[in-house]
Amino acid sequence: MINKKSVWFLTLFSLILVLSIYYITMPSEMLLTTRGDYENKETEKESEETTEEETEVTMKESDLLTSLRVEANDEMTKEMEELKTVLNSEDATSEEKNDAFERMKELNSIRGEEESLEKKLKSDLKLESFIKIDGDQIRVVVNTDSLDKTSANNIMRTIQAEYDKKMYISVKFQK
């Protein structure tokens, strides 16, 4: 059985891991502008002069993929926490605990598959992508300007080559 020390250790370790991943994936421009704002008073004057109507949000390609990854990780973390509560619950039956543990293993396996497919697309086709697997459906978001059918076909073939059974693959190009 899992004791309280192990649960606290895993909780704190998970928190540290999530924060470090967030810090690493944060764009370097954001870090530079944050540090520069404290040192540079001209930036403060410019921000006071701009109005809400003039403010425009632009999103880079890498920011889109990063936000998709963060959203997927949040969903996965939330589901893992729910499963951990089932595992730690004294009221849950052994069958419920076993199902929760199997689901946790499945979630970890799916995340590993997603990461390996992203690396494969990056190495084989030189494409930055985000992949989400849900059963036999695979959603691919590619960070590129070219919107041609041959690229989509190559992506689908590359991913399908990794599986024995038929997978339903959708490809979306984002700028």
What are 49-77's pLDDT values in tens digits? 444 444 454 444 467 888 888 999 999 99
- pLDDT above 50: residue 125: yes
Distance CA 120, CA 116 (A): 6
What's the rounded mean pLDDT across residues 16-42? Answer: 65
Quickly count: other Cβ atoms within 10 Å of residue 28's Cβ.
7
Q: How confident is the model at residue 23 (pLDDT cuts 50, 70, 90)?
A: confident
Q: What percent of the chain has pLDDT over 70?
A: 79
Q: Count of alpha carbons within 13 Å of 11, Cβ hemisphere only?
A: 12
pLDDT score, position 159: 94
Backbone angles phi, psi at 142, to 5 degrees: -110, 140
Q: How confident is the model at residue 30 (pLDDT cuts 50, 70, 90)?
A: low
pLDDT score, position 31: 54
Query: Which residue in 77, 78, 82, 112 sits closest to 97, CA to CA?
Result: 82
Claim: this prediction has a pTM higher than 0.75: no
- pLDDT above 90: residue 138: yes
Q: Which of 1-5, 66-70, 71-75, 92-96 has the lowest mean pLDDT?
A: 1-5
pLDDT score, position 24: 78
Distance CA 84, CA 101 (A): 8
pLDDT score, position 25: 80
What's the rounded mean pLDDT across residues 155-171? Answer: 93
